Amino acid sequence: MKRTIVIMLAMTLLAVSAFAQNDVTFEVDSTYAAQNAVDSTLAGKDIFRVLSESHGYYSHEGKVEIDQPQSVARAMSAHIAANADKKMTGYRVRIFFDNQQTARAKSESVASAFRAQHPGVGVYREYENPYFKVTVGDFRTKSDARKFLNSIKGAYPSGFIVREKINYPIL
């Protein structure tokens, strides 16, 4: 009897530890948290319009009709438009920082080369007397910025992380 209980307990502990090892985690500024799976195919799209249109991949599944007053749709559009230019504190990666006479031209070439290599990542050029600066990305956490910096460190070895006001990144 005791032997059976010990074996069952050992099997339960092995199953729990195997389950725990399969959890996906990511680093958030020296703490760990479970990462949620995110479907980025709907990022930046009006979900009401996507649901009500039958097109492409979802056309075989049917069409969804949304019965809502036009005032709700207008209010939602107005809310999105009013908050489109708001910023939050976050992190970016500075890939260029110079004050030589050729800095303006260099910053333009660095920014355009980065856009070509990494489409979809925000590129921000600015002049703060006497420096021309190029920063990239919009990251909510420092760990996300660090991961991105590590991925581009070969092409931009002098890159570093800066805390700035950023655009709201797409979740």
Query: Strands (DSSP E) along 35-140, which ranges?
Result: 87-98, 123-128, 131-139
Q: How far apart are CA 25 and CA 146, in angstroms?
A: 16
The CATH topology of domain 87-167 is: Alpha-Beta Plaits (3.30.70)
DSSP-derived letter for residue 69 is -
| HSE-up (13 A, CA, CB side) for residue 81 | 6
Q: How far apart are CA 72 and CA 78, in angstroms?
A: 10
DSSP-derived letter for residue 11 is H
List the pLDDT tens digit at each of the 171 positions of the chain: 556 555 555 555 554 444 444 444 444 444 444 444 445 566 666 666 766 665 555 555 666 777 778 898 888 888 878 877 788 899 999 999 999 999 999 999 999 999 999 988 999 999 999 999 999 999 999 999 999 999 999 999 999 999 999 987 665
Q: Where are the domains of the chain?
A: 2-34, 42-83, 87-167
